[in-house]
């Protein structure tokens, strides 16, 4: 019998001193994310703990933070915005890589990961993934076309800490 060590649908792991936080919806919804007060309090506590390390904090959610329902969007943004080291990653939209894939939403650095398996559109690679490199004072994000094994020109981002 395989035992799952995750007690909630939202959780975090510390790997090599870096915090990886996973948010989750708490209702049966497809196009948005419903976040409870309990999850928001938990998130604030974990972010507070993680920020003591003065390292980047990686927050993951299936839905982009601006897809969060029931007014939770502003509340999640407000919590995350208090922590300068947080970078949020999400998917769900199935959009191709574009300049808006990396943006600031309500003061929060947000990376909407592009689709990686759907049919290629004109000028848009379909096997795109993100490569994240962490250095002492910087996180380097580069997008790579895994069908050609090349980095995509013009899609390199640096976040300093």
CATH code at 15?
Answer: 3.30.750.180
- Whether 71 is in a domain gets the answer yes
- Whether 127 is in a domain gets the answer no
Alpha helices, H only, 13-161: 37-51, 72-81
Per-chain mean pLDDT for the chain:
80
User: How many structural domains comprise the chain?
Assistant: 1
What pLDDT, on the 0 to 100 scale, is given for residue 69?
47
- Whether 3 is in a domain gets the answer no
- Whether 62 is in a domain gets the answer yes
Choose the weakest-confidence range: 22-26, 28-32, 61-65, 78-82.
Answer: 28-32
By the 8 A CB rule, do 39 and 82 touch? Answer: no
Q: Which bin fits 66, alpha (ψ -120 to 50), beta or left (φ > 0)?
A: alpha
pLDDT in tens, 115-141: 665 555 556 656 788 899 999 889 999
- Whether 145 is in a domain gets the answer no
- Whether 102 is in a domain gets the answer yes
- Structural domain span for residue 65: 11-114
- Whether 78 is in a domain gets the answer yes
More confident residue, 110 or 3: 110
- Whether 144 is in a domain gets the answer no
Segment 98-122 mean pLDDT: 72
């Amino acid at each position: 019998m395989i035992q799952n060590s995750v007690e909630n649908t939202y959780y975090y792991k510390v790997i090599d001193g870096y915090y990886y936080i996973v948010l989750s919806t708490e209702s049966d919804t497809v196009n948005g994310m419903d976040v409870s007060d309990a999850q928001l309090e938990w998130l604030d506590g974990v972010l507070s703990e993680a920020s003591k390390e003065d390292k980047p904090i990686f927050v993951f959610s299936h839905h982009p933070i601006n897809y969060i329902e029931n007014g939770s969007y502003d509340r999640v943004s407000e919590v995350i915005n208090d922590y300068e080291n947080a970078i949020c990653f999400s998917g769900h939209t199935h959009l191709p890589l574009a300049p808006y894939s990396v943006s600031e939403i309500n003061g929060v650095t947000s990376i909407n990961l592009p689709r990686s398996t759907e049919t290629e559109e004109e000028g848009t690679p379909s096997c795109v993934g993100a490569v994240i490199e962490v250095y002492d004072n910087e996180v380097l994000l580069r997008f790579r076309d895994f069908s050609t094994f090349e980095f995509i020109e013009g899609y390199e981002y640096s976040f300093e800490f």
